[in-house]
Structure 1
Amino acid sequence: MSETVRRYFEAFNAGDVPAMLGCLDPDVEHHVNEGRVRVGKTAFAEFCAHMSHCYAERLTEMVIFEAEDGTRAAAEYVVEGRYLATDEGLPEAHGQTYRLPAGSFFSLRDGRITRVVTYYNLADWIRQVA
């Protein structure tokens, strides 16, 4: 199953949202660091469109971990990004760059991701772009 997670992150770094969606269960639960849980591929795609508008990001230093039974995985990485457009409730964007440690947790079933949880230090990000 970690191959599914690997493909998901490769698609992220390529900016290939359709390939990311291909890794997801139709009823995927997407838990973001700050905000509500989104359910389903449509909500996930809308989130990705918003993120692509506001941020240009690449994930580096990726380490993927997998539970022995293949039903869960986790990843630790560094987000290297540029803040492109002001996101609601956050500092004004003017092309600031940032480098932020982050992690994701996954639930998997039948070769698909059923849950994505992402964590990062929002205060650190704000400090870097303010």
Structure 2
Amino acid sequence: MSSDLIVRYYGAFNAGDLDGMAACVSEDLAHHVNEGQVRRGRAAFVAFNAHMARCYREELRDLAVLSGPPGRFAAEFTVHGTYLRTDDGLPEARGQSYVLPAGAFLTVAEGEITRIVTYYNLADWLRQVA
């Protein structure tokens, strides 16, 4: 069942298992990050996740996975994070913690995630780490 794949993907995220996350996505993944450019391909996704792991430690809680038409899913969760290292163009990191509601839209085909679109309130995050 595809929703199991989504749960496995977010379980790998929470475990800090970057290889496990990469194993859930297709080679031609379209990764739409909040307020950023679309990253295309598994290699770009892996590089993005390595960068994120250096700058942030996050746990997603209260995960709810919703299914729609075949292959289409939404996930809602609360991000509990710590800002570890200053990210380019963002405020200085000093170990600030934050809690944000967030969500994602995902597409699954042939047993792999082919698209991830993530949303959260950047202004709220900036306020929390300021």
Question: What TM-score do the two structures reach when normalised by structure 1?
Answer: 0.97
5 Å matches for 1:66-77? 66-69=67-70, 71-77=71-77
Task: After TM superposition, give the deviation of residue 67 of structure 1 in Å.
Answer: 1.6
Show the counterpart of 1:22: 23
Question: Following TM superposition, by how much is the alpha carbon of 1:120 offset from its aligned partner in structure 2, in angstroms?
Answer: 0.1
* AA matched with 2:79: V
* CA apart distance, 1:34: 1.5
Runs of 4+ in 1 over 3 A off after TM superposition: none
Amino acid aligned to 1:126? L
Q: Flag structure 1 segments of 5+ consecutive residues without an equivalent.
A: none
Structure 2: which amino acid aligns with 1:75? A
Aligned residue in 2 for 1:58: 59
Q: In 2, distance between residues paired with 1:29 and 1:68?
A: 19
Query: Once the 2 structures are TM-superposed, how far is the Cα of residue 31 of structure 1 from its aligned partner?
Result: 0.1
Normalising by structure 2, report the TM-score: 0.97
Equivalence map 1:82-101=2 (5 Å): 82-101=82-101
Identity of aligned residues (%): 55
| Partner AA of 1:106 in structure 2 | L
Tell me the matched-pair count: 129
Counterpart position of 2:109: 109
Deviation of residue 15 (structure 1)? 0.4
